[in-house]
A and B are shown apart, each in its own frame.
Chain A
Amino acid sequence: MNKITRRNFLKTWQGVVGAFATLATIPSLYYWWWDQPHKPNNTENWIDLGKAKKIKENVWLKRPISFDIQDRWKTRTIKEMLYVFREGRAVTILSSICPHAGCLIKTENNGFVCPCHKSFFDNKGLVVEGPSPRPLDSMKWTVKKGHLYVKYEQFRSGIESKEVLG
């Protein structure tokens, strides 16, 4: 029979603590993984942007939108910014989230710029210069009874293809 020396005892003790810590970590980590709403802050509803004819023509306009989502136990109001451009019956709606790293873009010199990593876009949202892997993301829209509606979606940043989150 092995004698219980101080060294032996400490080694066994370390092993027990180590095994215990590992076993206890697994469920905790799994809980963090499991407790995720595997969908982004999007809404299924079409959001009303007001009377289509009242939107000023041939200029990029900032339109803040807000909608409620159910995030676990509570209802959260999500606010997002959109850029809207109208030319007669044609409308372009762009997300203000930069496709590169997710900063917000702003208008500059008849185009857009992301202040974080200096991606420049022209006034159609196409990349002129900088690290952005794809053009600015456009949104689906429709006009019903004179009102402009937008389908708000978020796309994964940092990749070339326009992939809806979720």
Chain B
Amino acid sequence: MNVQAIFKLSAGISFLFLSLLMISGWGLSGGYIPSDSEAFSSILYLRKMGGIGQMIRSLHFYLSSGLIISGFIFLITFFLLGYVSQYVKQWYFSLALYFLIVGSCFTGYLLPMDQNAFWGTQVRLGIVETIPLLGLTIANLLRGGLTFGSETLSRFFTIHGSIIPVLLSFTSIILIQSQWEPIKELLSKSSIFFGTILGMILIYFLTYSISAPLELPANPIDVEYIPRPEWYFLWLFEFGKYVEWAPWIRSALLPLAGTLFLFGIPFLKQNSSKQRYMIAAGWCSIWLILTGITLKADRNLPDKLDYEAAMFVQADENYQSLCYDCHGATGKGDGPQSKTFGLESPDFTLMTYWKQTNDDQIIKAIKDGKGKDMPDFKKKLTQHQIEALLNMMKISYHPNN
């Protein structure tokens, strides 16, 4: 496959991804509430309901990574083919599109309000603050104040769901409308229609079978959580380690120099095809090396647990600290307190226990207490935690498991 074909294909795929992202975004925003008390719950509800809602979220999640890749391939083949000096306007609009897409990823990251989203955004805003002169102003505008507050999520949602899509639409319409041979050629082919339909079916199928991750809800005092950036920002994270003595190099100088270089390419002296390949290869290897170093350094980090898995671990910990004394390590009701004081505590490993009680009764017993020996835990555990505890009991102690 030659570069020309890759260029056209990546253009087509990028437009397909972009339109699917916008449309799936409409779907998602119909069931999402951008408030710090409800954002996570609305995403969790969508996840628990599964089916089409979960599919749309997965689609939105994975296609954003896909668009970062396909857009990058489009830009780099654009450059390699030597089109930049020929189609200056198209180059500028393509760059603008890519920057908007990155901006969209930056703001969309916060919306689920899980641990990853909250901490990732906190760190990024910290980096924005290190931009000389303007940094604090920009960070405060985005955050709506000096610290994370009521309007932070609304502002990120507005930028992600309204400002950027409008600008993206304008930019891509101008790009498609501009009399540009390669794109015109692409749009006139009938194979593109069938390719698109086939691609969409494939994407739907894939996103139906894999679901987008969601971690525990954001906890601003969880000192054990280790935030890590998205894979496409890892190189910047690694680069930051080398310029720790001057954080503005990463937050301001590098992005500024990169942007100026990209927008300045049309004015640079005409370079040969060989030189272009050298520049592109150089950049890609720097990217790969920096990303590789971080991945290698981080391979010992604990795995990020999805919501259900993390709730299970938490339920286990809660059981050990709150229930163990009476109910015992194996759920037989033979904990040290029960033995010493002869308390009434049921044996969770018996089938008769599970036949006599249903889920609602167990949840009520944990919440409000039962009899004279079982205390109430409604102040110590949330509804979600109690449900997770019940789920853990079933998996660990139910005789059928």
Using CB atoms and an 8 Å cutoff, list the residues of chain A in contact with chain B.
Answer: 29, 32-33, 35-41, 62, 64, 71-74, 76, 78-81, 96, 100-106, 115-118, 130-131, 154, 156-158, 165-166
In the bound complex, what is the Cα–Cα distance between A165 and B146 (angstroms)? Answer: 7
Shortest CB distance B154–A (Å): 10
Report chain A residues within 8 Å CB of B221.
64, 79-81, 96, 104
In the bound complex, what is the Cα–Cα distance between A76 and B312 (angstroms)? Answer: 29
> B340: CB under 8 A from chain A?
no
Q: What are 11 A-B contacts defined by CB distance under 8 Å?
A: A32-B141, A37-B145, A41-B148, A72-B151, A79-B220, A100-B126, A103-B119, A103-B122, A103-B126, A105-B223, A165-B146
> B155: CB under 8 A from chain A?
yes
Among A36, A62, A130, contact of B145 (Cβ-Cβ < 8 Å): A36
In the bound complex, what is the Cα–Cα distance between A103 and B122 (angstroms)? Answer: 7
In the bound complex, what is the Cα–Cα distance between A14 and B148 (angstroms)? Answer: 39
Shortest CB distance B153–A (Å): 12
In the bound complex, what is the Cα–Cα distance between A129 and B146 (angstroms)? Answer: 28
Report chain B residues within 8 Å CB of A64.
221
Shortest CB distance A43–B (Å): 12
Report chain B residues within 8 Å CB of A32.
141, 144, 155
Among B144, B149, B222, B240, contact of A76 (Cβ-Cβ < 8 Å): B149
> B150: CB under 8 A from chain A?
yes
Shortest CB distance B123–A (Å): 5
Shortest CB distance A129–B (Å): 10
In the bound complex, what is the Cα–Cα distance between A39 and B310 (angstroms)? Answer: 35
Among A81, A115, A166, contact of B146 (Cβ-Cβ < 8 Å): A166
Interface size counted on chain B using CB atoms at 8 A: 33
Among A37, A41, A62, A157, contact of B126 (Cβ-Cβ < 8 Å): A157
Q: Check A103 against B146 for contact (C-beta < 8 Å).
A: no
Among A39, A104, A117, contact of B241 (Cβ-Cβ < 8 Å): A117
Closest to B125 in A: A102
Q: Apart from A71-B145, A72-B149, A80-B220, what 7 extra A-B contacts exist at CB < 8 Å?
A: A33-B141, A35-B151, A39-B145, A81-B223, A103-B126, A154-B146, A158-B130
> B127: CB under 8 A from chain A?
yes
Which of B38-46, B51-59, B224-232, B378-386 forms part of the interface with chain A? B224-232
In the bound complex, what is the Cα–Cα distance between A74 and B150 (angstroms)? Answer: 8
Known pairs A40-B146, A81-B223; A158 contacts B119 (CB<8 A): no
Q: Check A106 against B223 for contact (C-beta < 8 Å).
A: yes
Report chain A residues within 8 Å CB of B141.
29, 32-33, 36
Report chain B residues within 8 Å CB of A38.
145-146
Q: Check A72 against B150 for contact (C-beta < 8 Å).
A: yes
In the bound complex, what is the Cα–Cα distance between A142 and B150 (angstroms)? Answer: 31
In the bound complex, what is the Cα–Cα distance between A64 and B155 (angstroms)? Answer: 29
In the bound complex, what is the Cα–Cα distance between A157 and B223 (angstroms)? Answer: 17
Shortest CB distance A158–B (Å): 5
> B217: CB under 8 A from chain A?
no
Closest to B228 in A: A116
> B215: CB under 8 A from chain A?
no
> B209: CB under 8 A from chain A?
no
In the bound complex, what is the Cα–Cα distance between A64 and B222 (angstroms)? Answer: 10
Closest to B150 in A: A71
Interface string of B124-136 (1 = CB under 8 A from A): 0111011000001
In the bound complex, what is the Cα–Cα distance between A78 and B148 (angstroms)? Answer: 10
Closest to B148 in A: A41
Q: Check A73 against B244 for contact (C-beta < 8 Å).
A: no
Closest to A29 in B: B141
Shortest CB distance A164–B (Å): 10
Among B129, B140, B241, contact of A157 (Cβ-Cβ < 8 Å): B129
In the bound complex, what is the Cα–Cα distance between A81 and B227 (angstroms)? Answer: 17
Interface string of B98-135 (1 = CB under 8 A from A): 00000000000000000000010011011101100000
Shortest CB distance A13–B (Å): 14
Shortest CB distance B266–A (Å): 23
> B400: CB under 8 A from chain A?
no
In the bound complex, what is the Cα–Cα distance between A78 and B36 (angstroms)? Answer: 12
Report chain B residues within 8 Å CB of A103.
119, 122-123, 126, 227
In the bound complex, what is the Cα–Cα distance between A104 and B119 (angstroms)? Answer: 9
Report chain A residues within 8 Å CB of B224.
106
Q: Check A104 against B146 for contact (C-beta < 8 Å).
A: no
In the bound complex, what is the Cα–Cα distance between A131 and B241 (angstroms)? Answer: 8
> B66: CB under 8 A from chain A?
no
Among A33, A37, A131, contact of B149 (Cβ-Cβ < 8 Å): A37
> B247: CB under 8 A from chain A?
yes
Known pairs A79-B221, A117-B244; A41 contacts B151 (CB<8 A): no
Interface string of B311-352 (1 = CB under 8 A from A): 000000000000000000000000000000000000000000
In the bound complex, what is the Cα–Cα distance between A154 and B123 (angstroms)? Answer: 16
Q: Check B225 against A104 for contact (C-beta < 8 Å).
A: yes
Q: Check B146 against A116 for contact (C-beta < 8 Å).
A: no
Report chain A residues within 8 Å CB of B123.
101-103, 116
Known pairs A80-B220, A96-B221; A36 contacts B227 (CB<8 A): no
> B147: CB under 8 A from chain A?
yes
Report chain B residues within 8 Å CB of A33.
141
Shortest CB distance A21–B (Å): 10
In the bound complex, what is the Cα–Cα distance between A73 and B127 (angstroms)? Answer: 29
